[in-house]
Amino acid sequence: MRSAKLLPVWIAVIGVSLGSATVRASEPDLEKAREKVRALEAEFQAVVAKVTPAVGAVSNYHATFNPKTGQVGVRLVGFGSGTVISRTGFFLTNVHVVDKAARITVALSDGVSYEAELFADTGSKGDIALLKLHGRKSWPFVDYNKGDAKKLEPGNFVFAMGNPFGHALDGTPAVTLGIVSGKSRNASERRFTYVGAVQTDAEINKGNSGGPLFNALGHFIGMNGLMHSTTGSNTGIGFAIPINQIRDFIAPMMKRQGKDVSYGYHGLHVGTAKSGGALVRRVDGGSPAAGAGVRRGDVIYKVNGKKVENRTAFVNVVDQLPEKKLVRLSFRRGNNTKTTSFKLGSQADAPRQRNAAEQALPLWERAYLGAEWKQVENAVYLTRVVATAGAGGAKLAAGDRLVRLGRTTITSIDQLVMILSYLEPGHKTRIAYKRDGRTREIGIVLSDAAEAAGIVR
């Protein structure tokens, strides 16, 4: 392997290394080395330049509502990244980036901030969200069908692009270079579990979430979303959802505006069987797997034609699929082997506790009184009235005491907020107020809280 021909060069190398700073590589070598590194740099720059226009910085505005004063508004609460994946302006990002957003804007490298709407997402369990951008006819994009994350191996060059810490808000994304550290990783956070994720040492920080991971060809191979960190800053362990997994969701998402395309629900709880395979520990009643006849104690050894040796392998195959996908299982029961198949259900079918807070209307769909208030003992007084909205239209003024809204006598702020949160904008009712010791009653049309907050829809 080490040919004798190269001996003279060895001596030169010894000179370099032992002589520390005094002896250096001979000039021709340095020139050659520089040539190589320059070429490497130029190639990398070209790949980065090619994909830059399709990478965007996401701003997430939350609606704010102060129940103590009645003040409404929007507040910039978070940043993220994302990628334009179609000429028509479909934009891929993480669910946790656009969480509870009242307004979303996406800045591209042309320096313009575009309005975006949430088109569809994976719901609470997954982390894939599809946005639709507005404001242009044709968009620069990267082809999400080109990259193949399955072909990645540890050591492949990858680079991440995005908006770490909200620094790239003007739209020019930041690029960080690294390699694939591992693949088929399972990483979880409180809310999400990434199954079959790509692990990279390309520096990923808060704000990189939703941003693309590219390979050396500039192919879109994953969406960054999680990092392993105790401090919130990078530790060299970042995770991306592989593009192959995302692709299964994009087509149904593009068809189903405003609805979830959730990860598939099967209802199986498995462990690793001693004999190899996934041992079914429990099956949810009424779940797709139960309907297909899978029972506790069955040992699954094949899923969709792929052998599964343990629990991880089973999870890696099944938990990456979207709802409605067909799953074929081969399993052992006693001495028999059986095969069955079923369509994955939606995560919404999974037994879980519904959160009561989800029932009330979100702020941007709530009615707005057009006033701010304060409570003095058992009385609610208006402190500021917006001339153009609800209360202002009804000629109420600051200092008025609110007596009744509809048929309810108002005795506390909590009560008022509760009522408002269940009414829709445009709702007509009557309002009673007390001014200079006299109580009057007048008709009122409640306004739109979102409009008042400055939310663009």
* Position 270 contacts other proteins (CB under 8 A): no
* Position 442 contacts other proteins (CB under 8 A): no
206-to-70, 82, 163, 229 alpha-carbon distances in Å: 32, 13, 8, 10
Per DSSP, the residues of 12-39 read: HHHHHHHTTTTS---HHHHHHHHHHHHH
* Position 233 contacts other proteins (CB under 8 A): yes
Q: Which residue type, as a one-letter code, is found at position 308?
A: V
Q: Pick the catalytic residue from 59, 81, 121, 127.
A: 127
**Closest separation between CB of residue 172 and other proteins, Å?**
5
State how beta strands 278-283 and 71-84 pair: unpaired
Q: Which is nearer to other proteins, 326 or 456 (CB)?
A: 456
Number of residues that bind other proteins (CB under 8 A): 94
Q: Which is nearer to other proteins, 25 or 417 (CB)?
A: 25
- Label residue 155 exposed, middle or buried (CB < 10 Å: 0-12, 13-18, 19+): exposed
Q: Which is nearer to other proteins, 75 or 255 (CB)?
A: 75
Of 125, 185, 302, 366, which lies in the binding site for other proteins, with binding defined by CB under 8 A? 185
For 394, residues 6+ apart whose C-beta sits below 8 A from its C-beta are 431, 442, 443, 444, 445
* Position 383 contacts other proteins (CB under 8 A): no
Map the footprint of other proteins across residues 133-152, applying CB under 8 A.
143
Segment interacting with other proteins (CB under 8 A) among 81-89, 125-133, 205-213, 429-437: 205-213
* Position 236 contacts other proteins (CB under 8 A): yes
Of 56, 123, 147, 164, which lies in the binding site for other proteins, with binding defined by CB under 8 A? 164
* Position 178 contacts other proteins (CB under 8 A): yes
**Closest separation between CB of residue 291 and other proteins, Å?**
30
The yes-or-no answer on residue 209 being catalytic is: yes
Residue 229 to residue 233: CA distance in whole angstroms: 6
* Position 320 contacts other proteins (CB under 8 A): no
* Position 397 contacts other proteins (CB under 8 A): no
The yes-or-no answer on residue 127 being catalytic is: yes
Element (H, E) at 307: strand 306-307
* Position 352 contacts other proteins (CB under 8 A): no
Q: Which residue type, as a one-letter code, is found at position 62?
A: H
Q: Pick the catalytic residue from 59, 86, 96, 400.
A: 96
Q: Which is nearer to other proteins, 120 or 197 (CB)?
A: 197
**3-state SS of the chain: helix, strand, coil percent to 5?**
25, 40, 40
Closest residue by Cα to residue 224 from 86, 96, 61, 89: 96
Give the x/- contact pattern for other proteins in 1-30, rule: CB under 8 A: -x---xx-xx-xxx-xxx-xx--xx---xx
Q: Which is nearer to other proteins, 2 or 428 (CB)?
A: 2
Map the footprint of other proteins across residues 408-437, applying CB under 8 A.
none
Residue 129 to residue 307: CA distance in whole angstroms: 31
Map the footprint of other proteins across residues 293-312, applying CB under 8 A.
310, 312
For 66, residues 6+ apart whose C-beta sits below 8 A from its C-beta are 72
Cα 63 to chain centroid, rounded: 18
- What is the tally of helices (H) and strands (E) in the chain? 8, 28
* Position 203 contacts other proteins (CB under 8 A): yes
Active-site residue numbers? 96, 127, 209
